[in-house]
Amino acid sequence: MTTAHTFEPPPGMEEVSLRFTPHVLRPLPPLAQEMFETFMLAFGGRAVHLYGYSFLGGGSGEPAAALEPSPYPDGRGAWERHALPRVRQICDGLRSEDYDSWPLEQIAQAMPGYFAEAGRGFAYTMQPLMVAAGPASALMVFCGEKLGDVGNRDQLVAALVQGVDNESAARGRKLEALAPLVQASPALLAAAREGDLEAARAAAGGEAFGEAFDAYLEDYGHGSQTWWELHTPTWHESPGAALRLLAGYVADPSRGPVAAHARSAAERTATIARCEAALTDEGDRARFQELVEGAVDYVFVIEGRAHWQQNCVGALRPVCLALGRKLVERGALASPEDVFQMRLGELAELVANPSGAMLETIEARKAELASWADLAPPMTLGPPPPRPPAGAPPNPIALMFGGPAEDTGDPLLLKGKGASRGVVTGRARVAFSLEEAEALQPGEVLVCPFTAPSWMPAFTTAAAIVTNQGGVLSHAAIEAREYGIPCVTGTESGTERIPNGATVTVDGLEGTVRIHAD
């Protein structure tokens, strides 16, 4: 591991508590960093980057872009009927322009405004989450007070809001619905296994499949594959992962999203029944039923806004790549993708004076970014964040991000958050990207910093999931329960301490990961 870099608060931020950004899997190149900074300012936060890694802290708390208060009192209405139409309009508008027909200077002038527009869409995705958090918080209070004998409060609440319709579950079920079309011919299925869309279209049955698959990608192919990675192609640009995933559903429907969602819904029904049986007071039972009904939209909202947050990132790729292509034509860039190695101000200067002056700098930045990927950023910098006030109600949003990991004093034992029940022993597969996660073999344990909605291949193959970040309502935890596999989140150092290929035992109830010495 590289040891030449140390993570310290940047000048002027020494007294500010900086928290490592959840969802960041790898260091970001300059343009993606600037996008993230713009998004955080729109939400009222502040982002700083050290060696490409994102930290939050020192923001005003006042969003620069905010919707008017929702007229709908429930989280589902606040998201689906109030915020989502505006977010969709922003993303569709950014993607619909024919940027290649624009002069180079016009694209460059539009870029800062488009980054701000995408940031506005991101800020809009966050407001409904606050509405949905209220009922979930009330359920947490009730479970802590009345159902302590049934199980751990946080795990209990997670199970009670699990197995309901949400965007991530729909993403998988709608892809699996295409499985019968893939089976139209051996050649079509073989092309899907290879991730070759052109060959799939040319195979017998390929025309019907191609039309259905294109429609699917219109809904689920325009977002970034991994959180905040503006520089990585979307499924719409590079659909191989989606095709290979679909072929896997054909091979083993029992591990597909439809069967998994049914199992998750059944588990939720059983958990509700178990809680109701433990509540002997009729008034408590009625209150519990009311709270569960009120909190049911929490996962619906957080997974919906996650999908559209990734769309806000993906919506910026067309304008960035168009600018990159035009700069290649002027000899200022070697590849359109090199645009992501520069910041907006540098791009404006390059457009004003196109030359090859930045070519060496860009190559140096690529090498630097690759070296930073070997670093292990700490979860916090500066003074510790303030604790919630005494008597403050529990915050379900904190269950997305989790808290500090417990130090076990044993280098072979990690303690995080038990996020999905079950005990599994298997070989660890450490992955920092969707491409690396695709190499996962049946029976292996996926060890990663975090996951994103497009990481579904991991959940159909993995025996268990271990993450550095997140709590029992993080995306990894939600999807692990959806697929019925053990999950431990918030280990902080899983990808650093667990060697790739090591044998590990994951206990998703206790939240432990044991590394076997052999």
Hey, what are 488's tokens? Answer: 């431990």
Length of the chain: 518
Contact yes or no for 311/222 (Cβ under 8 A): yes
355: helix, strand or coil: coil
Residues 6+ apart with CB under 8 A from 478: 158, 162, 166, 168, 299, 302, 303
Partners of 512 in the β-ladder: 415, 507
Output the pLDDT for position 378.
Answer: 85
At residue 365, φ and ψ (nearest 5 deg) are -65, -35
Query: What is the C-alpha separation between 499 and 113, in angstroms, rounded?
Result: 44
Output the pLDDT for position 400.
Answer: 80
pLDDT surpasses 70 at 500: yes
Proportion of the chain above pLDDT 90, given as a percent: 66
512: helix, strand or coil: strand
pLDDT digits (tens, 9 = 90+) for 39-55: 999 988 889 999 999 99
Residue range 9-13: mean pLDDT, rounded: 87
pLDDT digits (tens, 9 = 90+) for 292-318: 999 989 989 999 999 999 999 999 999
Residues 6+ apart with CB under 8 A from 144: 153, 394
pLDDT digits (tens, 9 = 90+) for 423-466: 999 999 999 888 888 888 889 999 998 888 878 767 888 999 99
Number of neighbours of residue 166 by Cβ within 10 angstroms? 25
pTM passes above 0.85: yes
Q: Of 165 and 430, which is predicted with more confidence? A: 430
Query: What is the C-alpha separation between 183 and 214, in angstroms, rounded?
Result: 17
pLDDT surpasses 50 at 323: yes
Q: What DSSP letter does each residue of 418-465 carry, written as one string?
A: EEE--EEEEEEEE-SSHHHHTT--TTPEEEES---TT-HHHHHH-SEE
pLDDT digits (tens, 9 = 90+) for 237-274: 999 989 998 998 888 787 788 888 888 899 999 999 99
Contact yes or no for 257/175 (Cβ under 8 A): yes
Contact yes or no for 432/373 (Cβ under 8 A): yes
Residue range 374-383: mean pLDDT, rounded: 85
Q: What DSSP letter does each residue of 199-261 carry, written as one string?
A: HHHHSTTHHHHHHHHHHHHHHHSSS-SSTT-TTSPPTTT-THHHHHHHHHHHH-GGGSHHHHH
What DSSP state is assigned to residue 312? Answer: H
Mean pLDDT of the chain: 91
pLDDT surpasses 50 at 505: yes
pLDDT surpasses 60 at 124: yes
pLDDT band for position 392 (cuts 50, 70, 90): confident
Query: What is the C-alpha separation between 475 and 160, in angstroms, rounded?
Result: 16
Partners of 50 in the β-ladder: 53
- First-residue to last-residue Cα distance in the chain: 22
pLDDT surpasses 80 at 160: yes
Q: Of 75 and 130, which is predicted with more confidence? A: 75
Separation of CA 94 from chain center: 21
Residue range 67-83: mean pLDDT, rounded: 94
Hey, what are 255's tokens? Answer: 């591990």
Residues 6+ apart with CB under 8 A from 191: 197, 199, 200, 202, 203, 206, 243
Residues 6+ apart with CB under 8 A from 389: none
Output the pLDDT for position 439.
Answer: 86
